[in-house]
Structure 1
Amino acid sequence: MTRPDILFIMTDQQRFDTIAALGNSHVHTPNLDRLVRRGIAFSNAYATCPVCVAARYTIRTGYEPPTTRVFSNAKADPVAGQPPEIEARCGP
């Protein structure tokens, strides 16, 4: 079975209600609006970690910060020093 191509776009520190296509009539966001219309937008989500790098690494690996030991934005390369099986889950 062929794996699907998935493009995951996440804007930094942006609430869902700051996009015109999701109901905000005070902003002009044509590119994000086009992505919302052609794809999927999450207007209600939960983050296991409120810190950017740690949250993105959680999404990338499927493991939460206590497992990856990435808790802050201070680590330049969160992959460095991780057990190989964690990064292997991310695909080739």
Structure 2
Amino acid sequence: MEESNLAYLIRREQPSEEPSTTTRFELGVAAFGPYAAMLGDRFAVHIRKWSTARTRPPYITAYRLGRSGHRPRTPMIDRPSTRIAITC
């Protein structure tokens, strides 16, 4: 979330013409707001970099604001009532 814009990760199943035991997915970005295209493009750059370098799947965790306890050592996205962490 950046000012009045929002971008988030989306996942969709990739169609396959050959039978496979493994389901493949494609990652993308959905973006909204006055600068949606710019924010979506920036997010997509990070997805492409992560895709080639990742060693683990991503985890998205939402924490209720005001809740005491463990705080992960990762950048957080603060929303009005929630704090969101995306870790790999």
Q: TM-score, normalised by structure 2?
A: 0.29
Structure with more relative contact order (C-alpha pairs < 8 Å, separation 6 or more): 2
Please state which structure has a larger fraction of its residues in strand.
2
Please state which structure has a larger fraction of its residues in helix.
1
